């Protein structure tokens, strides 16, 4: 026996379907539906795992435990694939009242950074901060004043569709800066590990870096900042986070053969779905392939100051040395002068944090005849 739906029931069914579609359209999902035509359309339930903002170490290193200034500031250039030399750097925040920020500020100046992408602060926050004269990130202040800092604050939170969209929008804003201007560039957030790490994954993938090159760069941050953190202790944690990020970028399921995938092509699609066009992506690749010279102040991961030791009697510089940020200058025996008595150095030379002149001061000896 055949059963036919009445027009009223059909209309009711269609209404129900449409209502369901509306509800699904507003439902919040954490990830893309793999195989969807565009990223914006691609939200669903297929993402496996979560992004962890935790750390695979017991505590952060203290200032004295960092082996180099670069590790302290988490400052380094991105490498891999066709990325040019010294074209794009990453670091901790360079504009706080901390030694790590001061180091990052000095290193970005030495690297000749032309544009900054800041995923930590808003434009208003930057303006308010640098209205305060005590902030000693002088080069960063100059960049803000000259409108060379792209403020694209975001979070590494993906539990709602809107948060995921907001994060992607911030990433795209950063890439628009690279498309529009030649480097070198600096990318940072607060610690330079999560938001900066995600941006670095996209950059390196786009420029043809291998999965292992991307993983090694991501690992390096935790090795830099974590107390007794090694590749072995951080590897599992980093692989899980990287798996999550690559799912977002490539629309592929967890555990895909990332080392066999054309990550450059996938990253290009991510950027296009985010609103960039082919011309902008060509400009990004062109700018990121450029090579830039090494700075003159950074050697073996340390930023060096020039310390001059001066004789106050002759006015001559008697000794010049290069001292890494925060380290002590070598204080030699003072010169000797007839009729003068050494009265001490003008500084003890401890924890050098700027170019300086340290003067050997003397007083005239009082003769025995005059004393009588």
All domains of the chain in start order, with CATH: 63-288 (3.90.190.10), 301-371 (2.60.40.4270)
Cβ distance 305 to 325 under 8 Å?
yes
The string of pLDDT tens digits covering residues 107-121 is: 999 999 999 999 999
Q: Which among 189, 115, 205 is positioned nearest to 156, based on CA atoms?
A: 189
Q: Please give the pLDDT value at position 4.
A: 53
Cβ distance 88 to 288 under 8 Å?
yes
Q: Please give the pLDDT value at position 370.
A: 52
What mean pLDDT comes out for the span 198-205?
A: 98
Percent of the chain with pLDDT over 70: 86
What mean pLDDT comes out for the span 210-224?
A: 96
Q: Please give the pLDDT value at position 37.
A: 37
Q: Please give the pLDDT value at position 251.
A: 86
| pLDDT for residue 262 is more than 60 | yes
Q: Label residue 207 by pLDDT band (50, 70, 90).
A: very high
* Burial track 186-212 (b if 16+ CB lie within 10 A, e otherwise): bbbbebbbbbbbbbbbbbbbbbbbebe
Q: How far is CA 269 from the centre of its chain?
A: 24
Q: Where are the alpha helices (DSSP H) in the chain?
A: 7-26, 69-73, 99-110, 123-129, 138-145, 161-180, 195-206, 211-225, 231-250, 263-273, 278-288, 368-371
Q: Please give the pLDDT value at position 122.
A: 94
What mean pLDDT comes out for the span 231-242?
A: 95
CA 298, 130, 167, 50: dihedral to nearest 10 degrees? 70
Q: Which among 275, 268, 298 is positioned nearest to 81, based on CA atoms?
A: 268
Q: What is the DSSP letter of 44?
A: E
Q: Please give the pLDDT value at position 136.
A: 79
Q: Please give the pLDDT value at position 161.
A: 77
Q: Label residue 16 by pLDDT band (50, 70, 90).
A: low
| pLDDT for residue 2 is more than 80 | no
Q: Please give the pLDDT value at position 24.
A: 34
Q: Is the pTM of this model over 0.95?
A: no
Q: Please give the pLDDT value at position 285.
A: 98
Q: Label residue 39 by pLDDT band (50, 70, 90).
A: very low
Mean pLDDT of the chain: 87
Length of the chain measured in residues = 372
Q: Please give the pLDDT value at position 287.
A: 98
Q: Please give the pLDDT value at position 297.
A: 96
Q: Please give the pLDDT value at position 368.
A: 59
Q: Please give the pLDDT value at position 8.
A: 59
| pLDDT for residue 346 is more than 60 | yes
Between 17 and 245, residue with greater pLDDT: 245
What mean pLDDT comes out for the span 305-330?
A: 95
CA distances from 344 to 267, 289, 360 (A): 62, 53, 6
CA 228, 229, 233, 235: dihedral to nearest 10 degrees? -170
The rounded distance, in Å, linking the Cα atoms of 358 and 310 is: 6
Q: Please give the pLDDT value at position 1.
A: 45
The string of pLDDT tens digits covering residues 150-189 is: 999 999 988 777 888 899 999 999 999 999 999 999 999 9
What mean pLDDT comes out for the span 280-304?
A: 97
């Amino acid at each position: 026996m055949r059963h036919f739906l009445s027009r009223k029931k059909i209309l009711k069914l269609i209404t129900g379907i449409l209502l369901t579609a509306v509800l699904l359209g507003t439902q919040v999902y954490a990830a893309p539906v793999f195989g969807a035509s565009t990223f914006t359309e691609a939200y669903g339930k297929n993402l496996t795992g979560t992004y962890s903002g935790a750390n695979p170490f017991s505590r952060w290193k203290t200032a004295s435990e960092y082996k180099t200034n670069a590790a302290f500031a988490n400052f380094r250039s991105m490498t891999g694939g066709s990325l040019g030399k010294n074209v794009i750097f990453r670091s901790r925040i360079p504009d706080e009242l901390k030694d790590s920020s001061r180091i990052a500020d000095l290193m970005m100046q030495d690297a000749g950074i032309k544009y900054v992408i800041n995923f930590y602060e808003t434009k208003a926050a930057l303006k308010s901060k640098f209205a305060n004269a005590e902030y000693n990130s002088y080069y960063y202040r100059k960049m803000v004043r000259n409108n060379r800092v792209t403020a694209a604050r975001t979070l590494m939170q993906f539990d709602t569709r809107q948060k995921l969209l907001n994060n992607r929008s911030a990433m795209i804003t950063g890439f628009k800066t690279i498309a529009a201007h030649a480097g070198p560039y600096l990318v940072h957030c607060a610690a330079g590990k999560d938001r900066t790490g995600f941006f670095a994954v996209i950059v390196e993938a786009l420029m043809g870096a291998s999965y292992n090159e991307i993983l090694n760069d991501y690992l390096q941050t935790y090795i830099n900042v974590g107390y007794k953190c090694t590749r072995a202790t951080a590897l599992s944690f980093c692989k899980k986070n990287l798996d999550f990020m690559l799912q977002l970028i490539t629309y592929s399921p967890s555990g895909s053969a990332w080392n066999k995938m054309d990550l450059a092509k996938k990253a290009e699609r991510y950027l296009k779905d985010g609103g960039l066009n082919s011309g902008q992506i060509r400009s990004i690749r062109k700018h990121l392939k450029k090579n830039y010279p090494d700075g003159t102040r950074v050697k073996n991961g340390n930023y060096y100051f020039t310390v001059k030791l001066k004789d106050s009697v002759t006015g001559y510089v008697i000794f010049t040395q290069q001292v890494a940020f925060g380290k002590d200058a070598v204080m030699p025996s003072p010169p000797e002068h007839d009729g003068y008595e050494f009265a001490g150095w003008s500084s003890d030379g401890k924890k050098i944090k700027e170019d300086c002149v340290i003067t050997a001061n003397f007083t005239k000896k009082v003769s025995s005849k005059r004393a009588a």
